[in-house]
Amino acid sequence: MMPMTRRDLEILLDHPDRRDYVVSAYVDLRVTDGFRRGGDVETILRNLGREARASLAEAKARKSLDEALDDVIRMASATEPAARGVACFRGIERGLRHVVALDFAVATRLVIDEEPFVLPLLVQWYTAPRCLAAQVDSHGVRLYERYGGVTEPVASRIRDVADDASRLNFKRQNGHEWHEHLSDLDHDPFLRAGAEEIAAWARGGAFDWVVVFGPSPITAAVVRRLPREVAARVVEGGSIDRSEGLDGVAQRLEAVLAEVQARQVRQVLEEFQGRWKEGHLLADGATETLDALQQGRAEQVLVGPRRDLGGARCPACGYRFGAPIGQCVYCQTPTRTVNALQEILRLAMRQQVPVLILEDAEAARVLSRNGQVAALLRADLNWSRSGGGRVPARFSA
């Protein structure tokens, strides 16, 4: 099955503020002892729908829920057997109908709100980094994608041996010895084409890292030809024999990514603790993190294990708050309740701000004083914690 894509999320994030209802359903489809862990999909969703229906006062809203729920059941029941879970979204009035087959487990739940409930998808997107791997040597370039712990081959380019032989003979006849491994690698047309292929795949996918395997002289020549934004994500994985095949690449890639992620967590936590001591360039908690994102000042978001962060959003000016306040502090419009973490991850994705999901006990301890969420900043917030009040970015000088 195809892994969840950025497009799956963008479809759900692109809906402007609306007052109609969206039904968001997550269903656990894992199979244990020949039976689905969640049991019969339709029965479970009908029961959840009955509970939700009782909370809707308007007859029109209840009718809309019934129609949407029927369609959600059809979508969930038609999910491919290999899926471990499914997320279905249906908004009748806005024409939203979207289903995402999931290669990871989810808790079965039904959410009815004025916007899609996408928090489980956003958390998974940032928890399971997506990686492009390139196995490069003098004979070929082989590309692999890794997402959700699965490595799959996606493209390959094999050197034309006959063309190389004729070129080598020509050089020998003219008294110029040539060795493809060590000489003139920066001008090798095959490696140039291989670098272009890697760059095209890297630009076409939302990859966190690009891991390059191969002899160091060859990988160095390839990396030098990559565009700057792609080269910035490159991790050199060392040499690997092409005879190891897909399993060998997958094992090596898993080890490289584990090391890279552990190093990244250490570096970010050290930076976080240093800024905490200095009280500088740090957003503390959900409210300040949302302010930083809305002011365009966040450079890295850190999220701990907690997911139920209450927040609010103003339907008039659109400002988001990291606490469930009843009235917008800027335009005095009554707000509506939202999940603050969903809003944080939504804004981070829109602004392409890196997010680090920290699940271990040490990370939870470090972030516990910050309401389990914080952000490293490129510039201080445009209001002071010590006084003077808060001014939203759009009202700033």
Q: What domains does the chain contain, in order, with CATH numbers?
A: 6-117 (3.30.960.10), 131-263 (3.30.420.60), 279-395 (3.30.1330.30)
Which distant-in-sequence residues (6+ apart) come within 8 Å of 68 by Cβ? 21, 22, 23, 90, 91, 92
User: 242-281 burial by CB neighbour count: b if 16+ within 10 A, else e?
Assistant: eeeeeeebbebbeebbeebeeeebeebbeebeebeeeeeb
The total of other beta-carbon atoms located within 10 Å of residue 225's CB is 19
Six token digits for residue 126: 């940032």
What does pTM read for this prediction? 0.79
- Cβ–Cβ < 8 Å for 84, 102: yes
pLDDT of residue 211: 95
- How many angstroms separate the most distant Cα atoms in the chain? 90
- Cβ–Cβ < 8 Å for 69, 45: yes
Six token digits for residue 247: 């399993």
Walk along the chain (397 residues) and give the pLDDT tens digit of each residue: 566 778 888 888 876 566 778 999 999 988 664 555 555 788 888 888 888 777 776 666 677 788 888 999 999 888 888 888 999 999 988 889 999 999 888 999 999 888 899 999 999 988 887 899 999 988 889 999 988 778 889 999 888 755 555 544 544 444 444 444 445 687 888 899 999 999 999 987 778 899 999 999 999 999 999 999 999 999 999 988 878 888 999 999 999 998 998 898 889 889 998 998 888 899 989 999 999 999 999 999 999 888 899 999 999 999 999 999 999 999 999 999 999 999 999 999 989 898 999 877 777 777 766 678 999 999 888 764 544 444 444 333 2
- Cβ–Cβ < 8 Å for 27, 46: no
Phi, psi of 368 (to 5 degrees): -60, -30
Phi, psi of 113 (to 5 degrees): -150, 180
User: DSSP E strands: which ranges in 128-181?
Assistant: 131-136, 140-147, 150-158
pLDDT of residue 149: 74
